[in-house]
A = this chain, B = another copy of it.
Amino acid sequence: MLVKTVMTENVKTLKETDTIESAITMMNAYNIRHIPIVDDERHVVGLVTDKDINLALPSILSKETNVTMDHDLKEIMKKNIISTSEYDFVEELAVDFHQFDLGAVPVVKNRKLIGIVTQTDIMSAFIEITGMKHPGSIIEIDVFDKPGIVHDIGHTMKELNTRIVSITIYDNREKPNHKVVVLKINAMNPQRVIEALVDKGFDVVNPYRME
């Protein structure tokens, strides 16, 4: 899935000379948690998150007044922001989000801001591409790793006239050279499919089979 499919366009932005109060007002008004800070050419010079704001605010448990609200955003914004392009793959951008513990990444084109992608957007994209919001069932199969696995499983599903929502594959940590295939199908009751897979010699590991 491309970044442009999931990014929010019409990003709300502020300048580094705007106040903390203006950022709080904007976050509350639009229910957002990340505000790119741009210069007059729409180049991204920083990013302010709700975490930056919370650290700047007085304690909710104290009676201190809001003395900090008129400080400039440049006092609390993060600099040296990682950005992405609209034609990058979301799945690959997710690795950066995870590795660098990012909350949001601005999308730029010719160095100008054109959108923003948040961790929530990335999670939403993964849920969509793995079909987890579609009704259906998950079956996990342990397989020896070789080319043709997807073909063989796809063949069995085609024979059963069962639609595959997604197939993902991860290393089986307990068995060297083995993979676990996660098969999401559009059948609410997977029993018929599990039985067909077992009949063909597949090792269905989850859900646990009731004997």
The residues of A with any CB-CB pair to B shorter than 8 Å are 1-2, 5, 51, 54-62, 64, 67-68, 71, 75-76, 87, 89, 91-92, 94-95, 97-98, 101, 119-120, 122-124, 126-133, 138, 140, 145, 147-155, 157-158, 161-171, 173, 180, 182, 184, 206, 208
Contact = CB atoms under 8 A, between A and B. Distances in A.
Contact of A126 (B130, B152, B171): B130
Contacts of A165: 169
Contacts of A167: 150, 164, 166-168
A124 B164 CA distance: 23
Contacts of A91: 130, 132, 138, 182, 184
18 contacts: A2-B140, A58-B62, A60-B76, A64-B64, A98-B120, A101-B120, A119-B119, A123-B123, A126-B126, A129-B169, A129-B170, A130-B168, A131-B170, A147-B162, A150-B150, A154-B154, A165-B169, A167-B167
Contact of A149 (B61, B123, B149, B164): B164
B206 A169 contact: no
B58 A64 contact: yes
B62 A95 contact: no
Given A62-B68, A147-B163, 15 more contacts: A51-B51, A55-B57, A60-B76, A61-B67, A64-B64, A91-B184, A94-B126, A95-B132, A128-B170, A129-B170, A129-B182, A145-B163, A147-B161, A148-B158, A150-B153
